[in-house]
Copies of this chain bind each other. A is one copy, B any other.
């Protein structure tokens, strides 16, 4: 039984950044601020301790994210919860800081074509944002840079892991606190996860999408490698308005269900989370992609 015993040990716990209220809702019809605040509050009650609550972007470009400052204002600051906002540039960061946010996420794309379509900036221009934000708002807020298309681009195809890892290093040198690698269009595979981690080390976040039904197996491969930071969205909501067929995020309940069974602590209560997921399906007006949400946990005695 050599193979069975040879499984690498798993981390004792992981940190999940719940991105449903931002990445998850972004491609949906606009949801009122009060409803988004209710959703965020319910997710925190279910165990979310890091939660992307808003994007400080143009409401004209992304109507679903209108009212970001109001969302942040409605959420009590708490040492137990990190409220995160996506910002595309210095102006967004200034607005987020004024609103009282706890942390920022910035995106940089490993794909030049995706970068132009998503943020109308070159990769180098994107990379310069962290430094510009530091210059404008100081060092008070952690900045996580999310490297999109880190496992391939729908435009250019494969992108060398060494080149992706180099972008991450440049982000850290340029003022970012941490780096997350995103599988924006579901092109990751367990081998490619391992290949990238071989270049970046495992002190990274992973942001996985389920376009090809591989988000969970990729997360498992990353857990085995020792990664302890994951982005997920309740229900598996999400997708990119700038990459057709991007598919939803790894569902929070799918990762929690897996981790619960593996003995990896997530901080979430699965039953409470599934109740939120069910409410969120009502909010967006369609079933959520998560199979665990549809089928229920493996067995309830």
- Interface residues of chain A, those whose CB is within 8 Å of chain B, are 1-8, 152, 154, 157-158, 186-187, 189-192, 194, 197-198, 201-202, 210-214, 216-217, 220-221, 224-226, 245, 247, 251, 254, 257-258, 261-263, 290-292, 295, 297-299, 301
Contact A261-B299, Cβ < 8 Å, known A4-B197, A220-B217: no
Contact A261 B189 (CB under 8 A): yes
A286 to B: closest C-beta gap in Å: 16
Check if B8 sits within 8 Å of A3, measured CB to CB.
yes
CA A226 to CA B210, docked complex, whole Å: 26
A197 contacts across to B, CB distance below 8 A = 1, 3-4
**Copies of this protein, total:** 2
Q: What distance in Å separates the Cβ of A153 from its nearest Cβ neighbour in chain B?
A: 8
Whether B202 lies near A258 (C-beta < 8 A) is no
The reply to whether A292 and B213 contact each other, CB–CB distance below 8 Å, is yes
A292 CB contacts on chain B under 8 angstroms: 212-213
Which among B7, B211, B299 is the interface contact of A158 at CB below 8 angstroms?
A: B299
The one of B3, B297, B301 that contacts A224, using a Cβ cutoff of 8 Å: B3
Whole-angstrom distance between the alpha carbons of A257 and B202 in the complex? 25
- Whole-angstrom distance between the alpha carbons of A192 and B224 in the complex? 16
Contacts A152-B299, A187-B299 given; does A225 touch B4 at CB 8 Å:
yes
Q: In the complex, what distance in Å separates the CA atom of A254 from the CA atom of B212?
A: 8
Minimum C-beta distance from A73 to chain B (A):
37
In the complex, A258→B218 CA distance in Å? 11
